Amino acid sequence: DAGVIQSPRHEVTEMGQEVTLRCKPISGHDYLFWYRQTMMRGLELLIYFNNNVPIDDSGMPEDRFSAKMPNASFSTLKIQPSEPRDSAVYFCASSLRSNYGYTFGSGTRLTVV
């Protein structure tokens, strides 16, 4: 099993540009989570999906953030327009069941200049 796969690993973009982060969960996992990690706030849950349906997006900071899961093997997190305060490491994680430990991807380090 290749684990949770995220791309790109690093993204540097200019303020105002659109950014799209991608995630492929582990096959057979019904839950997919997007987290953001910063020094100040630690790991924060942004949104999660169950069977491709968004369940809780209360952690999404603003309307500039959106996430989709068109099928069981792919999800995107989009920021439009991006701002310097969006700079962080974004993690995708998947889980077989609701109370199982999550498997995290290696993350996307986003820098907005």
Partner 1 sequence: GQQLNQSPQSMFIQEGEDVSMNCTSSSIFNTWLWYKQDPGEGPVLLIALYKAGELTSNGRLTAQFGITRKDSFLNISASIPSDVGIYFCAGLYSGGGADGLTFGKGTHLIIQP
**Contact residues for partner 1, defined by CB under 8 A:** 4, 31, 33, 42-43, 45, 48, 50, 55-56, 59, 91, 93, 95, 98-107
Phi and psi at 10, nearest 5°, equal: -135, 140
Which is nearer to partner 1, 17 or 98 (by Cβ)? 98
Largest CA distance in the chain: 38
- Distance of closest approach, residue 96 Cβ to partner 1, in angstroms: 11
- Distance of closest approach, residue 25 Cβ to partner 1, in angstroms: 13
Residues in contact with 103: Cβ distance below 8 Å, sequence separation at least 6, in sequence order: 3, 4, 26, 29, 93, 94, 95
- d(CA 99, CA 19) in angstroms, rounded, equals 31
| Residue 30 CA neighbour count, 13 Å, CB half | 8
- Distance of closest approach, residue 82 Cβ to partner 1, in angstroms: 22
Which is nearer to partner 1, 50 or 73 (by Cβ)? 50
- Distance of closest approach, residue 78 Cβ to partner 1, in angstroms: 20
